[in-house]
Chains A and B, each alone.
Chain A
Amino acid sequence: MTKLVGGDGRTHIESRLMRESLQNRSVLESTDSERDLQVFPDVSLVSIGGQSIFDRGKDAILPLVAEIAEAKKHHRMVLGVGGGTRVRHTMSIAVDLGLPVGGMAQLVGAMEELNAIVLNTLLASHGSMPMQRDHFWDLPLYFDAGIVPIAISVPPYHFWEPPPAEGGVLPAHGSDFGLFQLADVLGMRQVIYVKDEDGLYDKDPKKHADARHIARTTLAEVLAHPPEENILDEELFAAWRTAKNLRRIVIVNGLKPGQLTRALQGEDVGTVITKENARG
């Protein structure tokens, strides 16, 4: 039976962290360890790009839906979607109106959710469901029933979005980051970002004919030499630096049928970014 402890005017429950302010560095380090519990280690998270896939309409969306419908029979995955041009438009208006960064963060998720609903209408007959915000504990039920769940991608920072680094105006935590966080906290196998390029390049291949494709790299390398224009949220890489579980991010071209399936099978396709020293 745990003890209640008094004596300093407060009633404490006996524990290692009793009376701590939780700011002391050595106390905090004592809470850390080499490994985290891996909650869903055999699940992949698949993010379907907003600007890169959904904004292209049915020519891009339908072949991917067919590929997912087939792949879900063999691989456990959670889907997520990006927002795309409507997000950018929302932010433009919000900036012009002078809304605080927390207000912008609260607004953008709605645009991602539209894409999630669209995706769900197309996949429903093959077995899909939109997930409630944090109902991860329903996942075993979904998988058992052959359902591929579609998660909410933008994190729920909402009005409480932290102020951006000096000079910044826009919220830093978007859908790429949100899905990464989800995969990391649940100890998933990998995150596959489905975009409209073959992965990472040293510069934007839409604008530079001489852009060089990067087939395989590490997080350390990306942080040391960031590409001029990054296809993924910068905040994702910053968070990955201190995250403990996720080992592998793959960026594939959703306009080329088959790349997503190969990535789900664990093949190196598109761009593979690994993190050394990640537990798992």
Chain B
Amino acid sequence: MAERKTIDSLLSGSTLTGSGAGLDYHPVAIMPEVRVVKIGGQSVMDRGRAALFPILEEVVEARKLGIPVVLLAGGGTRARHIYSIASELDLPTGIMATLGKYIPMQNARMLQMLLAKHGGIYMLPDDFEKLPLYLQMGCIPVMSGMPPFGYWEKREEGSRIPPHRTDAGVFLSAEFLGAKRGIFIKDEDGVYTDDPKKNPHATHIPRITAGELIAKNLPDVVVERVVVDYLPRARWCKELQIVNGLRKGSGAGGAQGRRRRHHHFGALAAAAAPPDVEGGWDAEVTQTLGRRGAASRSSAGCARAVHRQRHGHRTALRPRVALGRFARRRPGSAPAVPFVPRHQTRTRIQTRRVPRDDTLTK
């Protein structure tokens, strides 16, 4: 009988399982500057334009200032609907995972259509490698948040629902790219001891490590449990930033809504010069930037927001003002983002109708 024809290598005799002790491994970050941002399904998309448009405006503004962003879409109520029906039919977890991935795809396509004039481009998992091209061209890549496990999704004990859903997709994308954090735009102020929509006595947890969160063994958590389990093992993505896209319930426009936008703008900008996460494997689940950055939000910012709402695009951020916001930087942080000439900021997503010829009205 012929012998096994092997190629000599560091791993040639091994079974490829077990710890990597003894391997000379120095990981390389693939694209660490990319901001990986989740647009919540149930929390944002299912609220419609009232919640979504202000968020997208901020994404567009950030992109124009040169911040590389990739958006991942959550699922929402349609996913829950199909999971309910598939559960009744006793469909296996892997089939449920395959069914569940269509809804985030739809949401991603919606986002892409809304962002198309700003460079929104839809990515399939197989296109993920084209990210450098899309970002170099100034695009805003959008993809489903669902990881491509499909039929190969593992079942977890006591549940039929696929454990790796869109939060996991965001974390795993960030981890692969070597990004320091994943940003989740949801409709809660972060982590609570229980679902605050169901339990009015749920208390808010401003800052916690993954290990502590696991130890608390809460009945309900704002982000998928597998992500909390993986966080301590991460080599790169050691921080989850959960941003409230709405600020406690009211999704309406108006000056209040406009001011909220600046909070998640802040979340993206802060990621330009992220603080070093201290400690070893324990990562921090941090609170929305809005809370931390509240002190730096000036009344001038609110005034601009109100003015813009009244006067349409004529009051799009003037470059001077935009740079002003970024001029306040910590020492040793990333260099200034490129200046974007005003005529390139002219198109924007409107929350109210604009005349077809794009002239101004009051």
Picked from A9, A21, A28, A168, the residue with its CB within 8 Å of the CB of B251 is A9
Q: Please tell me if A244 contacts chain B, counting CB pairs below 8 Å.
A: yes
Q: Please tell me if A234 contacts chain B, counting CB pairs below 8 Å.
A: yes
Picked from B18, B48, B128, B149, the residue with its CB within 8 Å of the CB of A157 is B149
Contact residues, B45-93 vs A (CB, 8 A)? 46-48, 50-51, 77-78, 80-81, 83-85, 87, 89-93
User: How far is the CB of B313 from the nearest CB of chain A, in Å?
Assistant: 27
Q: Please tell me if B330 contacts chain A, counting CB pairs below 8 Å.
A: no
Q: Please tell me if A124 contacts chain B, counting CB pairs below 8 Å.
A: no
Contact residues, A154-209 vs B (CB, 8 A)? 155-170, 172-174, 178, 181-182, 184-187, 196
Q: Please tell me if A114 contacts chain B, counting CB pairs below 8 Å.
A: no
Task: Name the residue among A58, A87, A96 with the largest chain B CB count within 10 angstroms.
Answer: A96
How would residues 14 to 43 of chain B score, 1 for a CB under 8 Å from any chain A CB and 0 otherwise? 111111110111111010000000000011
The answer to whether B19 and A85 have CB atoms under 8 Å apart is: no
The answer to whether A234 and B80 have CB atoms under 8 Å apart is: no
Complex CA gap A231/B15 in Å reads 8
Residue of B nearest to A90 (CB): B9
Q: A157-B148, A160-B148, A160-B173 are in contact. Are A22 and B46 (CB under 8 A)?
A: no
The answer to whether A87 and B16 have CB atoms under 8 Å apart is: yes
The answer to whether B30 and A103 have CB atoms under 8 Å apart is: yes
Residue of A nearest to B12 (CB): A88
Size of the A side of the interface (Cβ < 8 Å), in residues, is: 94
The answer to whether B233 and A166 have CB atoms under 8 Å apart is: yes
Q: Please tell me if B339 contacts chain A, counting CB pairs below 8 Å.
A: no
| B-contacting 9-mer, from A33-41, A214-222, A264-272 | A33-41
Size of the B side of the interface (Cβ < 8 Å), in residues, is: 95
The answer to whether A9 and B28 have CB atoms under 8 Å apart is: no
Q: A36-B91, A170-B16 are in contact. Are A56 and B220 (CB under 8 A)?
A: no
Q: Please tell me if A17 contacts chain B, counting CB pairs below 8 Å.
A: yes
Contact residues, A59-93 vs B (CB, 8 A)? 59-60, 84-89, 91-93
The answer to whether B7 and A86 have CB atoms under 8 Å apart is: yes
Q: Label chain B's interface by main secondary structure.
A: loop
Contact residues, B277-330 vs A (CB, 8 A)? 281
Picked from B80, B154, B168, the residue with its CB within 8 Å of the CB of A18 is B80
Q: Label chain A's interface by main secondary structure.
A: loop
The answer to whether A33 and B23 have CB atoms under 8 Å apart is: no
Residues of A within 8 A of B161 (CB): 22, 28, 31
Q: A22-B165, A167-B20, A184-B92 are in contact. Are A160 and B147 (CB under 8 A)?
A: yes
Q: A242-B154, A242-B155 are in contact. Are A102 and B172 (CB under 8 A)?
A: yes
Contact residues, B75-114 vs A (CB, 8 A)? 77-78, 80-81, 83-85, 87, 89-95, 98
Residue of B nearest to A59 (CB): B2
User: How far is the CB of A48 from the nearest CB of chain B, in Å?
Assistant: 14
Complex CA gap A88/B9 in Å reads 7
Picked from A17, A23, A103, the residue with its CB within 8 Å of the CB of B84 is A17
User: How far is the CB of B60 from the nearest CB of chain A, in Å?
Assistant: 23
The answer to whether B233 and A164 have CB atoms under 8 Å apart is: yes
Q: A8-B197, A12-B46, A168-B19 are in contact. Are A182 and B24 (CB under 8 A)?
A: no
Please name the 6 residue pairs, one residue from A and one from B, whose CB atoms are nearest each other, closest first.
Answer: A169-B20, A185-B94, A28-B159, A155-B152, A92-B9, A17-B80
Query: A: which residues have CB within 8 A of B?
Result: 2, 8-13, 15-26, 28-29, 31-33, 35-37, 39, 51-52, 55-60, 84-89, 91-93, 95-100, 102-103, 134, 136, 155-170, 172-174, 178, 181-182, 184-187, 196, 229-231, 233-235, 239, 242-245, 255
Query: What would be 10 A-B contacts, judged by CB atoms less than 8 Å apart?
Result: A10-B77, A19-B42, A19-B80, A37-B90, A56-B1, A162-B172, A167-B20, A184-B94, A230-B17, A245-B92
Extra contacts besides A19-B77, A158-B148 (5): CB < 8 Å: A88-B11, A88-B16, A95-B23, A166-B233, A170-B16
